[in-house]
Structure 1
Amino acid sequence: MHNKEEILAEAHKLSKQIQRLDTVKYYQRVETQIHRNHHIDEWMKDLKQRQKQSVNLQNYGKIEAYKRSEAEIDQIQAKIDALPIVTEFREAQSDANDLLQMMINTMADRLNAAHQDK
């Protein structure tokens, strides 16, 4: 029987092993590139500001201004989405998420199987 500290130590080891996986390292590299890109950073700030403004316009019933604001948001989002690094980031993120989900499902299946064996 393992105690909580042993399990947490093993979880820490597993976390370190996951960080060394090529899929995860690739995702982290692409994420770093995204965060270092000045244009993306500025567009994201602008996007967030316009989204807040758009919500306020909608809440105050300013329908025409809301529609214009949403169109501007769509244009900014399209600019961001058109960048190859953003596509690469989304693919890397999806791959890393799929890998982690597979690991979680495997652990859950093994826990359930062990529980049923008792």
Structure 2
Amino acid sequence: MTTKLYTKEEIVEKAKEIAHMIANTEQVDFFKKAEAQINDNQFVREKIASLKTLQKQAVNFQHLGKERALKLIEEKIEKIEQEIDELPIVQEFKQSQYEVNNLLQLVSNAIANSVTDEVIESTGGDVLKGETGSKVRNSQPGSCS
């Protein structure tokens, strides 16, 4: 039995299909809605604007070597970041980000593990040991090395 060999183009095409599937999951849908809510939130927009201003000041104070002023600005930045992070809408957004990343990692791991298993199986190897057929054959007594 011969196995069909695939081209890079065919694989990329399948990857695009999977990407389309992932982009149309509950996790991604929730992520998009949470991001839109954050962008529509006046309080968050104002806090982010304040953060950007403070970050520019921090860069200037650091450049000028003004350590005390820099420390004060950094404390203000941390306080605003905390205020933003405590908002339920931001927590939901971060949770959705985490879930989307987990889904991507799951797909990536599934592909990597499946490729490894198929290589091992197609060479007559031992999946449980994680050894290809050539390694199994060469590790047996009486085999030529």
Partner of 1:115: 119
- SS class of match (2:32): helix
1:17 counterpart SS class = helix
Report the equivalent of 2:85. Answer: 81
User: Is the partner of 1:67 in helix, strand or coil?
Assistant: helix
What is the correspondence of 1:63-78 to structure 2 with a 5 Å cutoff? 63-78=67-82
Equivalence for 2:110:
106
The total of aligned residue pairs comes to: 118
Higher relative helix content: 1
Query: Does residue 54 in structure 1 map to residue 58 in structure 2?
Result: yes
Give the fraction of aligned pairs with identical amino acids, expressed as a percent.
36
Structure 1: state its 5+ residue gaps.
none
Distance (whole Å) between structure 2 residues aligned to residue 27 and residue 41 of structure 1: 18
Q: Which residue of the partner structure matches residue 36 of structure 1? A: 40
- Label 1:52 to 1:114 Cα distance change in 2 as closer, same or farther (>3 A): farther
Which structure 2 segments of 5+ residues have no match? 124-145
Q: Which residue of 2 aligns with 1:16?
A: 20
Shift of 1:33: 1.3
* Stretches of 4+ aligned residues off by more than 3 angstroms: none
Q: Following the alignment from structure 2 to structure 1, what is the Cα–Cα distance between the partners of residues 63 and 120?
A: 53
Structure 1 110/67 Cα, relative in aligned 2: closer, same or farther at 3 Å?
Answer: same
Distance of 1:36 and 1:116 partners within structure 2: 51
User: Residues of 2 paired with 1:111 and 1:31: CA distance?
Assistant: 35
Greater RCO (CA < 8 Å, at least 6 residues apart): 1
User: Corresponding residue for 2:133?
Assistant: none
- State the AA in 1 paired with 2:62: Q
Map Cα deviations across residues 77-118 of structure 1 (whole Å, 9 max, x no partner).
Answer: 122112110011111111111121111111111112223333
TM-score (norm: length of structure 1): 0.87
